[in-house]
Amino acid sequence: MSRAEVKPPPEVWRLNGLEIKPFMKIKEACAVTGLSQIYLRRGVRDGTIPHIVSGPEISGKGHGTYMINMPALLKQLGVPLHGGNFSGLG
């Protein structure tokens, strides 16, 4: 598939009244997935949860804000993705 054929996913999906953005903070991802903050934070730390780090290091904290890659996480959890859309999301 060429780069021209790849279509970006929509900005926001909705599921049961909750917004699912492509990248969400850990606390927001917990509300959508039902996974605990501890589970997501440990997964980010050990590399099993797909994420990026946004922003600069702040006052020696050593990192910016962790943003969970929601399409990748939902796929990892077994939620079927069809044509860039989440199955069952509208």
Spell out a b/e string for 15-27, using b for 16 or more CB atoms within 10 Å of the CB, else e.
eeeeebbbbbebe
Check residue 88 and give its pLDDT: 47
Check residue 59 and give its pLDDT: 67
Note the pLDDT tens digit of each residue in 1-16. Answer: 555 565 555 567 776 6
The helix (H) or strand (E) run that includes residue 25 is: strand 23-25
Instruction: Give CA–CA dist 25/30, Å, rounded.
Output: 9
Give residues with Cβ within 8 angstroms of 58, minimum separation 6. 64
Note the pLDDT tens digit of each residue in 18-36. Answer: 788 899 999 999 998 899 9
- Sorting pLDDT into bands at 50, 70 and 90, what band is 41? very high
